[in-house]
Amino acid sequence: MSDVLEKLRVQLETMEWPSVYMYKFIVPNHPEKVDAVKAMFDDSAVIKTTNSKNGNFTSVSIEVVELQVEAIIEKYTIASQIQGIISL
């Protein structure tokens, strides 16, 4: 596990779970990459997308109730496999 995810885990473990969590990703503006991010979440997630000013990237914000810290770490790990993604 990366140092970034380990630091995130430590921060998240101070919170009470289940809780609403907001994921934010910047994705190259390719429909299949945006769809890959959306596919990581079920129908209960509130997903908002915004294209960048020049149209090269799409910002994807997802708000969802997560039951535990491990679910968040798992989603960031899966997302890291999408080429060009930036997790915020």
- Residue ranges of domains in the chain: 3-87
CATH topology of domain 3-87: Alpha-Beta Plaits (3.30.70)
Give the burial string for 48-83 (b: 16+ CB within 10 Å, else e): eeeeeeeeebbbbebebebeebeebbebbeebeebe
Averaged pLDDT for residues 16-44: 94
Q: What is the pTM of this model?
A: 0.89
Q: How far apart are CA 46 and CA 38, in angstroms?
A: 10
Are 18 and 67 in contact, with CB atoms under 8 Å apart? yes
- Whether pLDDT at 78 is above 80: yes
- Both tokens of 5, joined, read 């995810």
Percent of the chain, pLDDT > 90?
A: 90
